[in-house]
Amino acid sequence: MTGKGLPTPTLNELYVYVTNGCNCACRHCWIVPEDSGNANRPVHFIDPQVFAAAVEEAIPLGLNAIKWTGGEPTIHPDFDKLLGIQKEYGLGGRIETNGMQVTAELAQLLKKCGVTGVSVSLDGASAATHDAIRNVPGGFDRTLTGIDHLVTAGYRPGIIMSLMQINISELETLLDLAVEIGAGDVKLNIVQPTLRGAALHESGDDLSIEAILKLNQRLLNELQPRYELPIFLDVPMAFRPLGRLVDGDGLSSCGILGLLGLLADGHYALCGVGEHVPDLVYGQAGVGRLAELWAWHPLLQELREGLPKKLQGVCGHCLMKKVCLGSCVAMNYQRGQGLMAPYWFCEQAYAENLFPETRLNVKPGMA
């Protein structure tokens, strides 16, 4: 049990931030800060023994899956050992990668070790655009090669495109490319206004709320009917048609109440935001305290007791709050507004009179 008689939820998934390093320097990254090229900045790789100990601590709490992420997980020198631990414990797995280091051998190993879902970042339909966003000459071709290895291994990888002014004109070409290379779906991400993404947001090089919502309508009415592969735009729940939500549109809340982050330095955290927000780091992995942390850590109790009824601002009055859960509470906290603060996208949309009134039980300030 947890505080105030609330049951302790099942720990379904570990988000393993394999490393805080990366072989890209993406313009929009919200995990790696601007000083990532600083030689004095420590780069961590999760110790396989620490990961194994974390898995042993987490299994009694219900753990059944691993999400491999980073930084870039495939640059870990012992990534094969980490995958072997996943297989040893019979856990499911999924991975987010830029694909540049996915060899034929790694693709087969992912399949062998139980990784069922693969998402690959492809931020443009041309080398010029993709490589400019990722700051890696030749990255586009290397990513396509990695995707080809994944398809050969039996995957239909998801493609992730982060939307910004530099690549929006290539959207339809990228959708065509996704079909051609054997992708299973395309997810369109909104640039988050933190760390490197903050500079894009402030300069207007990302997409405005209005532009994103117009694209959402175009996607639903024009683009999705033209393509057999699913296309998802990662707008908050309040902006999604009820029909797609009922059918299961492939996007849901992150499941924040049933997951835990494992940082590359071996600490448990709410998620990867803990790399930059010490308040969201809970304790060291592998020392036998996870059950205690999971049941009693004050921030976890605050989440369980507060979501969704204590959400603030427009999120507190949204009819979708029980399924949305504030969209990204870690992002809200990172931006200095607290775990129950309204999500920045929804708050800005409401300020611009773009929030759908049919999704509000009462306007903020009128309760």
What is the pLDDT, as a whole number, of residue 92?
98
* CATH 3.20.20.70 is right for the domain spanning 3-247: yes
Reading the block at residue 82, the tokens are: 């980490």
CA-closest candidate to residue 113, choices 141, 73, 167 = 73
Query: Which residue in the block uniquely carries the two structure tokens 């601007």?
Result: 34
Cα separation, 342 vs 348, in Å, equals: 10
CA-closest candidate to residue 290, choices 261, 330, 253, 265 = 261
97-108 in b/e burial notation, b at 16+ Cβ within 10 A?
bbbbbbeeebbe
What is the pLDDT, as a whole number, of residue 4?
54
pLDDT in tens, 150-192: 999 999 999 999 999 999 999 999 999 999 999 999 999 999 9
A 10 A CB-CB count for 141 gives: 13
- Pick left, alpha or beta for residue 353 (phi over 0 → left; psi -120 to 50 → alpha; otherwise beta): left
Torsions phi, psi for 116 (to 5 deg): -100, -25
User: 30, 194 in Cβ contact below 8 A?
Assistant: yes
CA-closest candidate to residue 345, choices 219, 231, 194, 187 = 194
Query: pTM higher than 0.95 for the full model?
Result: no
What is the pLDDT, as a whole number, of residue 152?
98
Cα separation, 12 vs 255, in Å, equals: 9
Strand 13-17 to 65-69 pairing: parallel
Low-confidence ranges of the chain (pLDDT < 50): 1-3, 34-37, 367
CA-closest candidate to residue 16, choices 257, 269, 305 = 269
On the CB side of 12, CA atoms within 13 Å amount to: 7
Tell me the C-alpha to C-alpha distance, in Å, between residue 34 and each of 202, 230, 244, 333, 341. 15, 34, 37, 20, 26
